[in-house]
Amino acid sequence: TVNNISFFYKNLQALKDISFLVNPGDFIALMGVNGAGKSTLLNILHGTLSPCRGEVYFNDKYISRKNPYASIGFSAQRLVADWFLTARDNVFMGCILAGIPHRKAKTMTEDALNQIGLIDKADCQLDTLSGGQQQRIQIARSIVHKPQLYILDEPTTGLDAQYAENLFSFLEKERCRGKTIIVSSHDLYLLEKYCTKLIYLEKGKMNYFGALDEFLKKNAPVMRYYIYLKEDYRPNDNISASYFIRTHESGKGSNCIEIELKKDCSLSEALAEIAQKNDIQNIKNLAENGLRSFFTSGTEEQSRP
């Protein structure tokens, strides 16, 4: 539970009266442009920053800075590591911070190294690893103790596509076990694929908290296409209600139609119905739905969920 928190950096208010409630099984995307307050919020959530106003509770207990890692796994935006320790010992440190007994911690460390595909680098010093491998070690340290709450700030930075996908797939399995995940990332594809909820920050204010698909329905551009036909458009009486058709009598000509897909309709389904009475010659994509279109089309500048 986040209750009306605010935070100031000297005279700059980084967060303004943020409140929301998360539940077991939530997979939450934290989004906003650079400087919106995402990292500040995540640092408060896992206890390394104290809010100037308001409170944060986890399992009905106030999160303090004394031992935030017992039930929380945190990966910072910047690499945080002990360069004098091996890769294995850095991951092992995640168990120690969580208060896990030594023998069990050893087994969990090996499991985490296998999870990130670096068991063969376990005894290497961190400065001998690539940037992407170092990032995977930091992620392993945050997930090694299988916490109830995962808080990950840009975890896919430096990772190739396969390892990024593997990480989100692992987090999805944890979500299905009742764990809670809050992740900030610029990998919009993975956020849209796996996350169930969205926190959208703008200039320190929370402009949206709720279901991700509802946010997209309201704010992201719909999927629209121009369909060029060999002859004038001939309507199909058996057309479904999963998309809209607009005809163009002038300008583009009556042999060009514009279709707008609903969320539950694929382009191939619409084309199959149109092709029953029309000879399709060409297709032009006008707009795509999704987080990427929201953040690249300028929609976020005019959207106020």
Statement to judge: residues 111 and 209 lie in one domain: yes
Local confidence band at 220 (pLDDT 50, 70, 90 cut-offs): low
Statement to judge: residues 94 and 158 lie in one domain: yes
The H-or-E segment that residue 17 falls in is: strand 12-20
Q: What is the pLDDT of residues 3-56, one digit of tens each?
A: 999 999 988 999 999 999 999 999 999 998 888 999 999 999 988 888 999 988
For the cut 70, the answer to whether the pLDDT of residue 279 exceeds it is yes
Beta pairing, strands 61-62 & 149-153: unpaired
Q: Which of 58-67, 98-107, 219-228, 243-252 has the highest mean pLDDT?
A: 98-107
**pLDDT of amino acid 221:** 59
What is the pLDDT of the chain when averaged over all its residues? 85
**pLDDT of amino acid 134:** 95
Q: What is the pLDDT of residues 149-166, one digit of tens each?
A: 999 999 998 889 899 999
What DSSP string describes 220-262?
SPPEEEEEEESSS----TT--SSEEEEE-SSSS-TTEEEEEE-
For the cut 50, the answer to whether the pLDDT of residue 291 exceeds it is yes
Quick check: is 175 in a domain? yes
Statement to judge: residues 239 and 168 lie in one domain: no
Backbone angles phi, psi at 188, to 5 degrees: -65, -30
The residue type at 280: I
**pLDDT of amino acid 302:** 42
CATH number of the structural domain spanning residue 9: 3.40.50.300
Q: Read off the tokens for 37.
A: 């307050």
DSSP-assigned letter for residue 119: G
Quick check: is 304 in a domain? no
For residues 189, 193, 195, 197, the Cα torsion angle rounded to the nearest 10 degrees is 90
Statement to judge: residues 108 and 201 lie in one domain: yes
**pLDDT of amino acid 225:** 82
CATH number of the structural domain spanning residue 266: 3.30.70
**pLDDT of amino acid 66:** 56
What is the reported pTM? 0.75
For the cut 80, the answer to whether the pLDDT of residue 292 exceeds it is no
**pLDDT of amino acid 123:** 94
Statement to judge: residues 21 and 85 lie in one domain: yes
Q: Between these two residues, 77 and 267, which has the higher pLDDT value?
A: 77
* Alpha carbons 212 and 196: distance in angstroms, whole number: 6
Q: What percent of the chain has pLDDT over 70?
A: 84
Q: Which domain holds residue 230?
A: 222-287
Q: What is the pLDDT of residues 235-270, one digit of tens each?
A: 877 766 567 777 754 455 678 888 877 766 777 788
With beta carbons less than 8 A apart as the criterion, state whether 200 and 295 touch.
Answer: no
* Alpha carbons 46 and 24: distance in angstroms, whole number: 16
**pLDDT of amino acid 301:** 46
Quick check: is 257 in a domain? yes
Quick check: is 302 in a domain? no
Q: Read off the tokens for 123.
A: 């005894």
Quick check: is 73 in a domain? yes
For the cut 90, the answer to whether the pLDDT of residue 133 exceeds it is yes
The residue type at 189: Y
**What are the percentages of helix, strand and coil residues in the chain, rounded to 5?**
35, 30, 40
Q: How many domains does the chain have?
A: 2
Q: Count CB-CB contacts under 10 A for residue 117.
A: 14
Statement to judge: residues 141 and 270 lie in one domain: no
Statement to judge: residues 265 and 197 lie in one domain: no
Statement to judge: residues 45 and 77 lie in one domain: yes
**Final residue belonging to a domain, choices 218, 248, 269:** 218
**pLDDT of amino acid 230:** 87
Quick check: is 292 in a domain? no
Statement to judge: residues 110 and 81 lie in one domain: yes
**pLDDT of amino acid 272:** 84
**pLDDT of amino acid 242:** 66
Helix (H, G, I), strand (E, B), or coil: what is residue 186? coil
Q: Count CB-CB contacts under 10 A for residue 44.
A: 24
**pLDDT of amino acid 303:** 45
**Final residue belonging to a domain, choices 191, 218, 245:** 218
The number of residues in the chain equals: 305
Ramachandran region, residue 37 (left: φ > 0; alpha: ψ -120 to 50; beta: rest): left
Quick check: is 46 in a domain? yes
Q: Read off the tokens for 278.
A: 């029309």
Quick check: is 197 in a domain? yes
Statement to judge: residues 126 and 271 lie in one domain: no
**Final residue belonging to a domain, choices 218, 243, 265:** 218
Statement to judge: residues 173 and 48 lie in one domain: yes
Residue at token pair 């296409």:
225
Statement to judge: residues 49 and 190 lie in one domain: yes
* Alpha carbons 255 and 41: distance in angstroms, whole number: 53
